[in-house]
Amino acid sequence: MAKRNIFTLSVFTLILPLAIAGRAIVPLLQFQDKPSFLSPTFSRIFDTSMYGTLQLNNGLAQTPQMGWNSWNFFACDINETVIKETADALISTGLADLGYVYVNIDDCWCPTRNSEGQLVPDPKTFPSGIKALADYIHGKGLKLGIYSDAGVFTCQVRPGSLYHESDDAKLFASWDVDYLKYDNCYNLGIPPKDRYPPMREALNASGRTIFYSICEWGVDDPALWAGKVGNSWRTTDDINDSWASMTTIADLNDKWASYAGPGGWNDPDMLEVGNGGMSYQEYRAHFSIWALMKAPLLIGCDVRNMTAETYEILSNDEVIAVNQDSLGVQGRKVNVSGTDGVYQVWAGPLSGHRLAVALWNRGSKAKTITAKWEALGLQSSITVAVRDLWQHKEVAENAVSSFGALVDAHDCHLYIFTPQTESLRNVF
């Protein structure tokens, strides 16, 4: 096991990764003299003791990646016009200004290798080539992502990069690609721990800084090892555009909360917001929980043709700010109640001595859900101001001991709690 760098910090303070000999060092959320407003359980609830020393050496992913990916809506029906128009839409809608900067091509862009063994973009769908497309994307101030597979074929039976890592990484770099999603199909039964590091080494040696997104579906518990390999790692199987899929995946990803942090993030797959399979309330819950979990925010709908409701969700800058918070601690499920635990409280510490708190109703009827300070690791006497991030307003100035709200079925309220008492202010 790699040695971990442990720093003693005051509450809600996590020093940003330091560049030491080219390596990103992620300190832990630890407390020497715990202030009186914290309960003894705080550091256990928001444990980050599994942060490792990142070895990717690329300086990326200080916050979770944001952008767009072609797969959830377009699947194989992609071409360079769709990619360009998507980039244009990210700019014209203002989504790029909110942080959605990666424009990621998924599977099906490459049907074959040439006689020299190089990947060749489909001449029918990408006739201008990937380099020209990258130039167009970069001209918009955005970044281009590409897709390959840690197997002999991709999931759609296009050529994979297994045993071609060095050549393919150099090719991607020559095209000025900024991001690689690296899938897990047709892997010859070789363990992921053996297949994914070679591409890390190849990307590091390519001469270009490229975000490395590991997509091995959580098969070999990548949170346990992928922090030394990639900038993000899929913890689950593919999401689909349904309430059942989204909630199941959220629970699976929650298990690994203590392993994520600046430089490397748990990835419960891309956003389905706007694809039509869930209600407005369900999509709002999806976006809220993904933001709280510090998941990558990769839009999966057709941003050229968004509804007003879809845009409202994806453009909520206060929710995005929770996801992009510099503290980099993944929020997690802290309390459940009701039959089958359908009434849930999720929470996570933020910079500036704050907490993000979600009240999530996974039941079939409206219900008042209450977050008790005990579940949040706070002493019951602490006074808190509460801001609703969907209503964009303060809803309580001096909440004590607990805070509750009526939440519609399949909806989620997201708040920021800011402790207000004099005893708290005197600590800092």
Render pLDDT for 393-422 as a digit per residue (tens, 0 to 9): 999 999 999 999 999 999 999 999 999 854
pLDDT at 36 (0 to 100): 56
> In whole angstroms, what is the distance from residue 64 CA to residue 288 CA?
14
CA 64 to chain centre: 5
Dihedral of alpha carbons 107, 113, 118, 121, sign: negative
Label residues 182-204 b or e (16+ Cβ within 10 Å = b).
bbbbebeeeebeebbbbbbebbb
pLDDT at 53 (0 to 100): 53
Query: For residues 182 and 161, is the Cβ–Cβ distance under 8 A?
Result: yes
Q: How far is CA 7 from CA 11, 37, 141, 226, 428, in A?
A: 12, 21, 37, 22, 18
Residue positions counted in the chain: 428
Provide the pLDDT confidence category of residue 40 given band limits of 50, 70 and 90.
confident
> In whole angstroms, what is the distance from residue 265 CA to residue 273 CA?
20
The secondary structure element, H or E, covering residue 257 is none
> In whole angstroms, what is the distance from residue 88 CA to residue 96 CA?
10
Question: Closest by alpha carbon to 329, among 35, 39, 27?
Answer: 27
pLDDT at 423 (0 to 100): 41
CA 69 to chain centre: 13
Per residue in 272-305, pLDDT (tens digit) is 999 999 999 999 999 999 999 999 999 999 999 9
The secondary structure element, H or E, covering residue 143 is strand 143-149
Six-digit token pair at 130?
A: 């990937």
Position 29 pLDDT exceeds 70? no
> In whole angstroms, what is the distance from residue 421 CA to residue 385 CA?
10
Six-digit token pair at 104?
A: 């990621």
Per residue in 106-157, pLDDT (tens digit) is 999 999 999 999 999 999 999 999 999 999 999 999 999 999 999 999 999 9
Instruction: Decide: residue 208, CB within 10 A, 0-12 exposed, 13-18 middle, 19+ buried.
Output: middle
The secondary structure element, H or E, covering residue 160 is none
Alpha helices in 293-341 (DSSP H): 308-314, 317-323
Per residue in 339-361, pLDDT (tens digit) is 999 999 999 999 988 999 999 99
pLDDT at 12 (0 to 100): 41
DSSP 339: G
CA 81 to chain centre: 27
pLDDT at 374 (0 to 100): 95
Position 60 pLDDT exceeds 70? yes
Three-state SS for 199? helix
Question: Closest by alpha carbon to 325, among 420, 389, 391?
Answer: 389
Helices 243-254, 280-292: inter-axial angle, 10-degree rounding: 10
Q: How far is CA 239 from CA 1, 272, 286, 290, in A?
A: 32, 8, 11, 12
39 or 172: which carries more pLDDT confidence?
172
Q: How far is CA 13 from CA 27, 45, 350, 414, in A?
A: 10, 16, 8, 22
Residues that are catalytic: 183, 238
> In whole angstroms, what is the distance from residue 335 CA to residue 326 CA?
25
Position 327 pLDDT exceeds 70? yes
> In whole angstroms, what is the distance from residue 111 CA to residue 98 CA?
34
